[in-house]
Amino acid sequence: MEQRFAATGVEASTPVSMNLRSTTLPPCIVFEDDDLLVVNKPPGWNTHAPSPYAGEGVYEWLRHREPRWAELSILHRLDKDTSGLMVFGKTPLANRSLTQQFEERRVEKVYRLRTDRLVQATDWIAHWSVVRAGDHYVARPQAVGLDPAETRFHRVAHGSGWTEWEAYPRTGRTHQIRVHAAQGGMPLLGDSLYGGGPATRLHLSAHRLSFEHPRTGDPVSWSVDPQWDHDPRSLLRQAVINPSETDAYRCLHGASDSGGSGFYLDALGPFHLLHSDSDAPRSLEIGGGIKAVNLYHRRLNRKVGVSGTDESCPRWVRGEQAPEAFTLRENGVRYEMRFDQGYSVGLFLDQRDNRRRLLTGHIASGFPLMDSPVANPEVLNCFAYTCAFSVCAALGGARVTSLDLSKKYLDWGRRNFALNGLDPSAHDFIFGDVFDWLRRLGKKGRQFDCVLLDPPTFSRSKERGDFRAERDYGTLVASAAAVLKPGGTLFASTNAARLEPEVFLGQIREALAGVGRRVLKDQYVPQPSDFPVSREEPAYLKTVWIRVV
């Protein structure tokens, strides 16, 4: 019997045996049909990933999220700090039609912008060419050899200290509206690059998008509210987090969210947990439209391998105090959280998207979790902690073996299984050293369709001694390869900040080659968008999914 691929709504071409789960679409999706995907991009998110190992852009995040979006094509772009409507093509027909409409200037793009400068005219047209000058652009009189650029401006509203305009660009040069507005004496609020007044965000949004539908030829149009008064940090989370199924995510991520280095805030169901380098301030204003009513605080521990339970537990700051255990939701899956068990409270939020991949059986464009239909897929979760990966794999239809050095955490994992209607007795929970058990399982001839490696940066066991990710990750991969089936999937992850992505990937490839295994396909996955990457707050999480033969 054929079964639908998770979250696609499209019939699978081959029968599958896993009980794959679907999750709801992200809130940023405005419209979808067989040909088009229309998205409301929040400010502060790149259209494209700026580099291979930085955070994903909107395009990469979407293209790898759903199987039916695997061939998604980008047809126009918005600057990182510009919000609003974007359209993506899903079919060759849509791509051809919309490319032609854009080239022939038959797509109506209407932007909204705000400025704090007064301009007497209510309508005016900018005819300056836009020329690159270092890290920005400048307006130049149109002349032979310069690409023409034209924008019409129309004033639509005004208030205390601001005037709102609509901009109708007839051409699509980089920074065109920003440069033209500044040259016309009305630089945008929040646009420090072009002399705009201070604001929490760039006040520029793609407000309306209209064109002919590529299949029917009918006129179609969408519009969105710019939401100037909403904090951009919250808008980013609201674009990707669906509150109907997820109430755990990072609200503020250090310097990337202008919170300052060493200031991080997580939503954990009904509670918020603040992490900082210093003690919790007596008078704490979170900002960003975040109502952290029930707040806990934990001082960051920068010392690897040091996490005394009493000293590192979150401390109550205000509001309702947490019970001994409480439950949160992520992608519709339930997990038990505790604030009385030391540094970690039960779930690593930065692995949310990777857990979803196990849940849905879809890694990335052209990369299913299982290379071919498997009747009873076997997954080995090493360093299982509270078994969050294991729960998602089990909900996806796999039989899971969870391996960890802590009986306490394995018992916690069993409770997470039960919370989601899973029978823990139908799965294996092994207490012991990962290296020792990989050797034992290999000797017994056990083989798994998928092996998950997410070790702590540092750990210590009586059997093996110290494990340090920067030094020993290759050895771990070689050991895991012995129990991975040919054509199986290896997941490797580390949050060792000093281990550069290129070095990390090199260690993995070298280790696999050293035991006679070959990489058929791989997909590098940066940390999710609610953990934004910036120059001030570089990426720390490195994960890769690998098909190994």
Report, as residue numbers or ranges, the catalytic residues.
Answer: 79
SS (H, E, C) 186-228: CCECCCHHHCCCCCCCCCEEEEEEEEECCCCCCEEEEECCCCC
How many Å is the Cα radius of gyration of the chain? Answer: 25
The three-state (H, E, C) secondary structure of 399-443, written as one string: EEEEEECCHHHHHHHHHHHHHCCCCHHHCEEEECCHHHHHHHHHH
Query: In degrees, to the nearest 5, what angle opens at C-alpha 270 toward C-alphas 266 and 274?
Result: 30
C-alpha to C-alpha distance for 286 and 127, rounded to whole angstroms: 44
Alpha carbon distance, N-terminus to C-terminus of the chain: 29
Angstrom CA distances, 435 to 25, 299, 471, 482, 514, stand at 39, 32, 15, 11, 17
Beta bridge partners of 36: 89
| φ, ψ for residue 253, nearest 5 deg | -125, 80
Chain mean position to CA 532? 8
Pick from 396, 354, 370, 360: which is nearest to 547 by CA?
A: 370
Return the H-helix or E-strand segment holding 372: none
Q: Contact at 8 Å (CB) between 447 and 395?
A: no
Place of tokens 């007064």: 118
User: Cβ distance 49 to 42 under 8 Å?
Assistant: no
Q: Residue 460 carries which side chain, given as an amino acid letter?
A: R
Vertex 535, ends 59 and 305: CA angle to 5°? 105
Whose CA is closest to 473, among 449, 432, 506, 437?
Answer: 506
CA angle 160-44-301, nearest 5°? Answer: 115
d(CA 253, CA 228): 21
What single letter denotes the amino acid at residue 258? Answer: S
CB atoms within 10 A of CB 379: 27
Q: Is 218 exposed, middle or buried (0-12, 13-18, 19+ CB in 10 A)?
A: exposed
The SS3 call for residue 140 is strand
Q: What is the largest CA-CA distance in the chain?
A: 82
Distance between CA atoms of residues 180 and 456, nearest Å: 51
Quick check: 204 and 113 in contact, CB under 8 A? yes
Rounded to an integer, what distance in angstroms lies between the CA atom of residue 294 and that of residue 286? 12
44: its two tokens: 């502060």
